[in-house]
């Protein structure tokens, strides 16, 4: 069954507003979570690494003040897209490492479709 | 960021046919992962490979971790319509807590 959940599954917002996306690990603790962005017909691109109890690590080219990450607890990381613009419309996916009978492997959430009008 | 070279980009096959796709990298990875993504969904892990030379099966799927640690392939035998989707390879240098590098994906279409 699913090990990582995301909420909401899709969101439509007006340009200039902020949108919060939640990523939760189900029945396990995740001190680290990862946030990806995927544009249509493209692969997943890592945006940032979310660390419980410390600041997130952002990939080159990702604005930390625009994409705010808060790892609030051992089972929850949130990504807030601030002052969203149409070019921020994308599919946002989180992942968390978990051991399931072997070494830690990353399991992905179902994704959040963001449309900025 | 860096991406793996994944091929083919797309495949259109008949139900029952076998399929093979592969990924190559200029650098070494210590873990290779294969995911499948359906439209509007997150990637689902199919097979994880942790040792060079390892050959692992999951039902009709078989994947191998290249001996040089710079490549991996995924085979699907006797394809069925529900195999349709995008398949991604991903390399990981260290533990599950390190970042993934993804291939560009292989879109698989299966005709009944």
Structure tokens belonging to residue A59: 């990939």
Between CA A5 and CA A21 the distance in angstroms is 11
- In angstroms, what separates the C-alpha of B109 from chain A's closest C-alpha? 15
Output the CA torsion sign for B67, B59, B102, A5. Answer: negative
pLDDT tens-place string over residues A43-97: 999 999 999 988 999 999 999 999 999 998 999 999 999 999 999 999 999 999 8
Mean pLDDT value across residues B48-65: 95
Percent of chain B topping pLDDT 90: 88
Is A44 close to B104, i.e. CB distance below 8 A?
A: no
A99 touches chain B (CB under 8 A): yes
Residue B97 has pLDDT above 70, yes or no: no
The answer to whether the Cβ–Cβ distance between A49 and B99 falls below 8 Å is yes
Q: Give the closest-approach CA distance of B14 to chain A in angstroms.
A: 23
- The number of angstroms, rounded, from the C-alpha of B6 to the middle of its chain's C-alpha atoms is 8
Torsional sign, CA B87, B91, B94, B97: negative
- Tally A–B CB contacts below 8 A: 67
């Amino acid at each position: 069954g699913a090990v990582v959940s995301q909420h909401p599954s899709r969101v439509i917002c007006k340009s200039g507003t902020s949108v919060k996306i939640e990523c939760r690990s189900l029945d396990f603790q995740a001190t680290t979570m990862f946030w990806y962005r995927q544009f249509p017909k493209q692969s997943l691109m890592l945006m940032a690494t979310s660390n419980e109890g410390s600041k997130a690590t952002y990939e080159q080219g990702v604005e930390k003040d625009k994409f705010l990450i808060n790892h609030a607890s051992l089972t929850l990381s949130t990504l807030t897209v601030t002052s969203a613009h149409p070019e921020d419309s994308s599919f946002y996916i989180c992942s968390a490492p978990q051991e399931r009978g072997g070494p830690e492997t990353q399991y992905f959430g179902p994704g959040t479709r963001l449309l900025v009008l | 960021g860096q991406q793996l070279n994944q091929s083919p980009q797309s495949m259109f096959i008949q139900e029952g046919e076998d399929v093979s796709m592969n990924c190559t990298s200029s650098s070494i990875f210590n873990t290779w992962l294969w995911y499948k993504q359906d439209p509007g969904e997150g990637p689902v892990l199919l097979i994880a490979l942790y040792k060079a030379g390892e050959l692992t099966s999951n039902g009709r799927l078989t994947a191998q971790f290249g001996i040089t640690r710079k490549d991996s392939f995924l085979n699907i035998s006797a394809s069925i319509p529900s195999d349709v989707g995008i398949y991604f390879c991903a390399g990981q240098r260290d533990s599950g807590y390190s970042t993934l590098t993804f291939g560009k994906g292989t879109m698989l279409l299966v005709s009944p």
